[in-house]
Amino acid sequence: MHVPVLFDEVIQALQPRSGGRYLDCTLGGGGHTAGILSASAPDGRVLATDADGEAIARARERLCGAYADRLTLRQAWLDEAPTLARALGFAPLNGVLVDLGLSSDQLEAAERGFSFMRDGPLDMRFDRTRGEPAWMLIERMDVQGLTEMLRDYGEVRNARRVAEAIWQARPILTTGRLRDVVAGVARTRSNRIHPATQVFQALRIAVNDELRRLSAALPELIALLSPGGRIAVITFHSLEDRIVKEIFRRESRGEVVQPGFGMGKDRPARVRLVNKAPIVPSEAEVARNPRARSAKLRVAERLASVQV
């Protein structure tokens, strides 16, 4: 069973209340969604979305019996969630959650290809009905493309050397095969991290276009918040956290919008930072759930009312 990361901190940050409307853009195992529903009883409503249709199906079994009248489930990518929320009449929102971690259900399923700890098809797609699996992405890329992907999305040391090894070993159809190829050439900065960790991260990000989707979604999600509404984002690596930090910083300071011809106008700040430094798991939580060790939670609160 999936254990939600920073559960108490998320509930404290979002402050769910009766009558509120909330969006969980990354349903996963459903733990945070259940917590928001419980805290917003008796009539708070939650729209929970996920790109993974299998996560939606599992959540329907786990949650709809207790919360059927207050929970709406839809399959959608992160950057599709704002448009969906508007279409379903959920805007304006009192709270938004984005948890960018993989669920235990995904990691434990060998056939999904997310973990090198279990041998299975090298897939990595959140939505297995669309797009190309990781093995196919590797198959069509050249060494330079692989190098850039490993460097930019995985911060892999000696990315060129690792890319060449992967390219020469093609076709690589399974997680076990990729793990073994990488283990033969890759190095990490810490002996605690398997050298395949960052390679698998880079591939997953590329397959699912994760960073672009995150960058596109966050400003739109902020726009959906009612005054006093909050957005909470949990990241698990520096690339994600950097994007969240920069967008929250920009939205909290306002900026000059340049429409052209040398003319500009000030756009006021839309949020305040609830926590300037990220919230991280306690030692006790990491001991209970080692997968939480790299989690960071950033929270922002909407300041001004706009048309949503």
| Tokens describing residue 237 | 């690596």
Are 217 and 291 within one domain?
yes
**Residue 278 burial (CB < 10 Å; 0-12/13-18/19+)?**
middle
Q: Is residue 153 part of a domain?
A: yes
What's the rounded Cα separation, in Å, for the pair 290 and 197? 15
Q: Is residue 1 part of a domain?
A: no
pLDDT digits (tens, 9 = 90+) for 195-253: 899 999 999 999 999 999 999 999 999 999 999 999 999 999 999 999 999 999 999 99
Are 196 and 156 within one domain?
yes
**Residue 46 burial (CB < 10 Å; 0-12/13-18/19+)?**
buried
> 219: cis peptide before it, omega within 30°?
no
Are 190 and 146 within one domain?
yes
Q: Is residue 116 part of a domain?
A: yes
Write down the pLDDT at residue 111. 96
Point out the residues of the chain with pLDDT beneath 50: 307-308
With H, G, I as helix, E, B as strand and everything else as coil, classify residue 142. coil
For residue 84, the Cα-to-chain-centroid distance in whole angstroms is 17
Are 15 and 52 within one domain?
yes
Q: Is residue 308 part of a domain?
A: no
Q: Is residue 117 part of a domain?
A: yes
Q: Is residue 36 part of a domain?
A: no
What's the rounded Cα separation, in Å, for the pair 109 and 100? 18
Are 222 and 95 within one domain?
yes
Write down the pLDDT at residue 186. 75
Q: Is residue 307 part of a domain?
A: no
> Left, alpha or beta for 6 (phi > 0: left; psi -120 to 50: alpha)?
left
End of a domain among 181, 208, 235? 208
CATH number of the domain to which 229 belongs: 3.40.50.150
Are 112 and 95 within one domain?
no
Are 188 and 128 within one domain?
yes
Write down the pLDDT at residue 133. 98
End of a domain among 187, 208, 229? 208
Are 89 and 231 within one domain?
yes
Q: Is residue 113 part of a domain?
A: yes
End of a domain among 180, 208, 236? 208
Residue-by-residue DSSP string for 212-261: HHHHHHHHHHHHHEEEEEEEEEEESSHHHHHHHHHHHHHHHH-EEEEEET
Total domains in the fold of the chain: 2
Are 79 and 166 within one domain?
no
CATH number of the domain to which 131 belongs: 1.10.150.170
Are 214 and 189 within one domain?
no
Are 47 and 91 within one domain?
yes
Are 72 and 217 within one domain?
yes
Residue 121: which domain range? 106-208
| Tokens describing residue 162 | 């690792």
Write down the pLDDT at residue 195. 85
Closest C-alpha among 76, 91, 90 to residue 26: 76
